[in-house]
Amino acid sequence: MQEVLGKPEGFVDNFVRKPGDYPKVTHYCPGCGHGRVHKLIAEAMADLEISDKTVLISPVGCTVFAYYYFDCGNIQSAHGRAPAVGTGVGRSNPGSITISYQGDGDLGAIGTAEIIHAANRGENMTVIFVNNGIYGMTGGQMAPTTLEGQVTTTTPTGRDIDEAGHPMRMSEMIATLEAPVFVERTAVTDTKNIMKTRKAIRKALKSQKDGYGFSFVEILSSCPIGWKMKPVAANQRITDEMVPYFPLKNFKDEIENRSPRPTKTVDPDPNKIIEVLGVDKDERLFKKDQSFIDNFKDQHVRIAGFGGQGVLLAGTTLGYLGMETGLNTTWLPSYGPEMRGGTANCHIVLSNKEVGSPLVEKASTLIAMNQPSLNEFGVTVKPGGLIVINSSTVEGKYTERDDVTCLYIPMNEIAESLGVMQAANMAALTAYLAYSKAFDVDMLTSLIKANFKKKTLIEKNVAVIQKTYEYVKENYLN
Amino acid sequence: MEEKTPRVEIIPEQCKGCELCVVECPQDVLFMSKKINQFGYMVAEYKGDGCTGCGFCFYACPEPGTITVYKKKRVKKEASA
Ligand SMILES: Cc1ncc(C[n+]2csc(CCOP(=O)(O)OP(=O)(O)O)c2C)c(N)n1
Ligand code: SF4
Ligand code: SF4
Ligand code: SF4
């Protein structure tokens, strides 16, 4: 039979998870090194017959969408946390294969702690570390591995090592640790080096399959777009500029000298977990009141404002009210894909039934602490719903909707008049509770007394709650 | 229907015109054509003969299934190693 070298079976045939009309091509830029690395992993998974028991942890970075392509399990982790997620996957699924696929921003910057400690513990995982010396996904900022003098969007005059430190050699660092069994740096520049990379990936995965624990393959790879170069020239740059600083070599290979580690079996007893967490005890701040629970009307609340307004704390406080009275409660903070400070918002669902989704798409109540939040989320409030507006920052009336009730509360003024600017969030929460009657305002006071540590803060917050309650009674309740 | 000579197949609709296969081909039998695909990329093409089936272009190409190399028929070695 004729031998055929084609799309490896470690890939799914059609990338059905990828949106759009082209389920056969990747989302990567032309000539991107990630594609070459993907092909080698897919081929190795198929040849080692491990696809069915492999979980690939995709990072944040251009490979965040790696799950479009590979025919194996996937968990997409938070930025830099792939080795931590991999630890959980590996430990709770003995005999499985974990691949932590990470970029240099992911592994060498935000995730430095996770990778060092996962390596040091010798977790059962193979790390594929793609070093392209730049943040590709976000448009070419400096990474820990950016070379001295290299121009990026955040080093417009070149990386200054006095200011930004030296480029980090991660393989060398990992190799000093005891536990890792295999550590090698390769490059996907030309056929010779691609073949060396192929061999290293296979060796690393095989060692994990055989039970040796932690293996690490660093791959120098091009980012033609971030480097503003043609793909062929970009690969040449790796050879000319990166390899002299990041030598291609094996730093550690202890496979011959060690024996496979025994597979640890974990046998989680659900009852034991409940006991350890203490959630079996019915200990609540408020005595269980079945008729309160039975008559509780579902609350879908969105609280939004800018960072520093205590939006998330207002959300957890409301969540605690739910939990301490025996309701089912979810609280979900929500940031955009790139967290740049600025706006913050959270979703709270409270119900006497099981909560299907923690997302509040149609809010029964919106608390809008500033103008942008009102503009963005005002339209999502259910007809007949409530909007609590911070009139200290929002000018004029909200005229976009005539099918909702608006409360205008000078939250900053109330909080400031009592000497606690940070307590504007409590004014917001109080106004919502006083008007909606979802909970007694007194319960909020009791909760603050039980949860806050500092006595002076408790007093001031309680004063804010009282003053706001008076304000709502005077202006909106009769 | 066994083919005797090695050859390479490139799917033009899946090519991103990066040229990486062309520079890796030791036989110099691949080239960037003037044909433009639906994405607007100029695509790589095979000259039609001279391929030895080495597979270098397959590993050079970052796209999963764009290139397929049909190698020479494997002659089974006699019962040795
Ligand atoms: C918590 C968090 N911080 C920052 C970001 C923004 N961010 C997205 S990708 C990225 C860097 C990715 O660079 P790298 O790991 O080198 O991967 P590449 O895209 O180059 O493959 C950053 C900082 C984010 N998504 N989440
Ligand atoms: S930005 Fe760079 S790393 Fe990301 S897909 Fe494009 S070439 Fe690849
Ligand atoms: S298989 Fe080898 S000889 Fe044939 S086109 Fe590809 S690189 Fe050239
Ligand atoms: S390497 Fe692949 S994508 Fe790039 S030009 Fe060749 S066939 Fe096209």
The model's pLDDT over A27-48, given as tens digits with 9 standing for 90+, comes to 999 999 999 999 999 999 999 9
Q: What is the CATH number of the domain that holds B17?
A: 3.30.70.20
Query: Domain A270-476 maps to which CATH number in 3.50.50.60, 3.40.920.10, 3.30.70.890, 3.40.50.720?
Result: 3.40.920.10
Instruction: Looking at the complex, report in whole angstroms how far the Cα of residue A429 sits from the nearest Cα belonging to chain B.
Output: 52
Taking the centre of ligand 4 as the mean of its atom positions, its distance from the CA of residue A145, in whole angstroms, is 28
Closest ligand 1 atom to residue A105 Cα is: 15
pLDDT band at A338 (very low <50, low <70, confident <90, very high): very low
Residue B37, chain A, CB below 8 Å: the answer is no
Please tell me the number of the ligand nearest to residue A24's CA.
4
> Beta-carbon neighbour count of residue B32 at 10 Å?
16
Minimum Cα–Cα distance from A12: chain B residue: B64
pLDDT at A340 exceeding the cut of 50: no
User: Is there a contact between A30 and B72 if contact means CB atoms under 8 Å apart?
Assistant: no
Between A3, A5, A25, which is nearest B63 by CB? Answer: A25
In a mutagenesis test of the B interface, which of A5, A227, A235 is the best target, namely the one with the most B β-carbons within 10 Å?
A5
**Which has more confidence, B3 or A368?**
A368
* Interface test mutation site (partner B, options A12, A13, A16, A25, max chain B beta carbons within 10 A): A25
Which of A42, A198, A231 is the closest to B20 by Cβ? Answer: A231
pLDDT band at B76; cut points 50, 70, 90: low
pLDDT at residue number A335: 63
Q: Is residue B61 part of a domain?
A: yes
Report residue A170's pLDDT band, with 50, 70 and 90 as the boundaries.
Answer: very high
Higher pLDDT: A280 or A169? It is A169
Q: Probe ligand 1: pick from A338, A339, A340, max atoms within 8 Å of CB?
A: A338
Give the residue among A429, A119, A418 at the shortest CA–CA distance from A303.
A429
Ligand 3 midpoint to CA B57 (Å) = 6
pLDDT 10s digits, A208-223: 999 999 999 999 999 9
Give the residue extent of every domain in chain A. Answer: 34-257, 270-476
B13 in a structural domain: yes
Does residue A271 surpass a pLDDT of 90?
A: no
Residue B45 domain-assigned (yes or no):
yes
Q: Is B41 on the interface with A (CB under 8 A)?
A: yes
pTM value is: 0.71
Check pLDDT > 70 for residue A64: yes
Residue among B14, B19, B24 minimizing CB distance to A25: B14
| Domain with B45 in it | 7-70
For residue A189, report the distance from its CA to the centre of ligand 4, in Å. 14
> Does some domain include residue B66?
yes
Instruction: Quote the number of domains for chain B.
Output: 1
Looking at the domain assignment, is residue B78 inside a domain? no
What's the CATH number for A34-257?
3.40.50.970
CA of B25 to the centre of ligand 4 (A): 12
ipTM of the complex: 0.91
What local confidence, expressed as pLDDT, does residue A382 receive? 97
Q: Starting from the CA of residue B39, give the closest ligand.
A: 4
